[in-house]
Amino acid sequence: MHEWALAEAVIKTSIEIAEKEGLAQVTEVTVKIGNLQQVERPILRFALSQLRPSRFKDAKFRIFTAKTTLKCRVCGNTWVFNKNSLDKETVEAIHFVPEVAHTYIKCPKCGSPDFEIEQGRGIWLETIKGVK
Amino acid sequence: MADPRTSIIPERLSRVRRVVAVSSGKGGVGKSLIATSLALSLAERGCRVGLFDLDFTSPSTHLILGANDVQPTEDKGLIPPKVAGLEYMSLVYYSGNEAAPLRGAETSNALIELLAVTLWNELDYLVIDSPPGIGDALLDLVRLVPQIEFLIVTTPSRLAFETVKKQLRLLQELKIPVVGIVENMKMTQASSVKQQTEALGIRFLTEIPYDPAVEDAIGNPQKLFSTAIGRKVRELSKTM
Ligand SMILES: Nc1ncnc2c1ncn2[C@@H]1O[C@H](COP(=O)(O)OP(=O)(O)OP(=O)(O)O)[C@@H](O)[C@H]1O
Ligand SMILES: [Mg+2]
Ligand SMILES: [Zn+2]
């Protein structure tokens, strides 16, 4: 449900960009969600459709999920995040603040929590298309 | 193209009248105790107050408050639970009893996330407990929170105050409001910190003696007000 808060952020930022680029009507907004955060796509989509202002009335929201790659800063190992190895509470904690992944996930090769979230962390505004 | 989270932050804080970060260039000077006492004192005076623990890697305020078994409610965002009359937010809700080993960019990201999704009620004060240093937390607060003000804590030691003076000059250069200085853990009558603070044009708020009873009050907000910290900060809260 806190997807609403993220949707509000997407709409607010999109409006700012549309204004800056002089778009009278926005036709398409592309949002990327990193698999790590486990954002519920249907809720996000619903929230975006409810929150859209008139300038966005014909806009198509494209939402795609990006896989999460983690890279160990100690041994250099790179791996793909998979929530199936974690319990429900942990997945939920990471859902609210993805950085707590560093509390629960260790490098599968050397055991270090010192890894970088190379890609697929959370929500990201990819592109906005529209007509001037 | 863009991180959508930062643009919503001013709106999330728009119903908060004052945001006061308790901060110090130096560690271990009493920030967490003073931030918690300040939030409690303001609430006691009838203000609506939030407390946000921004010390993600070594949070303390949940221990001082004795906050147990509470979690934010998930609605169209995260609604902080009430602890001792305060709307209370901390990363410990999510990191629990385990370490959160975060690097600078990661602490920034966690802060942006929490500021973007936390739904504070209308508040008179949001008190922030900061980690020590003149680094990520201070720079992020300056960058992200339009109405940020700093309350700076020092001890009488030159090892603390020399760093604090640099911090004060930086904030002055950046034109960020400084509520004033608190001198904590005083053991003598020396007045040099007070004089130097005033020479910088900054308010000297109060001095707090070293009080060994503080340790016993940790986890018990009421007991805090029978210690020197609680009493002095309660007085101070009347002048905010
Ligand atoms: N006036 C005082 N009298 C006695 N002990 C005190 C006083 N002020 C602080 N302390 C003690 O000093 C220690 C540090 O206090 P506190 O954790 O509030 O400092 P801090 O500045 O938040 O530290 P950090 O930089 O690690 O966040 C604690 O053990 C606390 O009980
Ligand atoms: Mg502290
Ligand atoms: Zn490794």
Closest Cα partner for A52 from A88, A18, A102?
A: A18
Q: Is the CB of B210 under 6 A from ligand 1?
A: yes
Kindly report, residue by residue over B24-42, the tens digit of the pLDDT: 999 999 999 999 999 999 9
Is B89 within 8 Å of chain A by CB? no
Distance between Cα B140 and ligand 2 center (Å): 17
What's the confidence (pLDDT) of residue A63? 98
What's the confidence (pLDDT) of residue B1? 87
- Superfamily for B4-235? P-loop containing nucleotide triphosphate hydrolases (3.40.50.300)
**Prediction ipTM score:** 0.96
SS3 at position A66: strand
> Residue A111 is encoded by which pair of tokens?
């055991």
**Averaged pLDDT, A88-105:** 98
Number of domains in chain A: 1
Burial profile B110-134: b = 16 or more Cβ within 10 angstroms, e = fewer? bbbbbbbbbbbeebbbbbbbbbbeb
Provide, as residue numbers in chain B, all residues whose Cβ is less than 8 Å from the Cβ of A5.
8, 76-78, 116-117, 119
Q: Which ligand ends up closest to the CA of B184?
A: 1
SS3 at position B150: strand
What's the confidence (pLDDT) of residue B169? 96
pTM, two decimals, is 0.97
Provide, as residue numbers in chain B, all residues whose Cβ is less than 8 Å from the Cβ of A8.
8, 11, 76
What's the confidence (pLDDT) of residue B91? 98
Q: Which residue has the tokens 């904590």?
A: B184
Give yes or no for a contact between A6 and A95, defined as CB atoms under 8 angstroms apart.
no
Give yes or no for a contact between B85 and B121, defined as CB atoms under 8 angstroms apart.
no
Is A121 within 8 Å of chain B by CB? yes
Residue A17 belongs to what domain range?
2-131
Nearest-CA distance A124 → chain B (Å)? 5
Q: Which ligand ends up closest to the CA of A116?
A: 3
Task: Enumerate residue ranges in chain B where pLDDT < 50.
Answer: none
The CATH code of the domain that includes A38 is 3.30.2320.80
Cross-chain Cβ contact B109/A99 below 8 Å: yes
Q: Which atom of ligand 1 is nearest to the CA of B24?
A: 21
- Beta-bridged to residue A78, according to DSSP, are A71
Q: Is the pLDDT of residue A108 over 90?
A: yes
Q: Is the pLDDT of residue A1 over 90?
A: no
Q: Return the amino acid letter for A31.
A: V
List chain B domain ranges.
4-235
- Beta-bridged to residue B146, according to DSSP, are none
